[in-house]
Amino acid sequence: MLPQALADLANEFHEVDVSEATGVARYFGIFHLPTIYLYRDGRFHAELQCEARPEIIREVAQQLLAAPPQDEP
């Protein structure tokens, strides 16, 4: 669903299996799955949290990416 909803907003998607990459989960403090972080030009913008509907995902991602980058979690 994400590639379709974010087609012109994102050109890469990276999936991390935190059961295998436990260091990544600890580093980012991931406690809930799935966890989706939005980065643009290598800078963290936000964690994407919204209803799992393509139009909602797109709308929320646009708003979060329009805001200035934040410190990584």
Q: What is the largest CA-CA distance in the chain?
A: 33
**Is residue 14 over pLDDT 90?**
no
Burial of 50 (0-12, 13-18, 19+ CB in 10 A): middle
**Which residue from 70, 26, 8 is spatially nearest to 35, judged by alpha carbons?**
26
pTM of the entire structure? 0.80
Give me the residue spans of the domains in the chain. Answer: 2-66
What's the rounded Cα separation, in Å, for the pair 28 and 45?
Answer: 14
Q: What are 30-62's pLDDT values in tens digits?
A: 887 788 999 999 999 999 999 999 999 999 999
What's the rounded Cα separation, in Å, for the pair 57 and 1?
Answer: 9
Q: What are 15-27's pLDDT values in tens digits?
A: 888 889 999 889 8
Contact 47, 40 (CB under 8 A): no
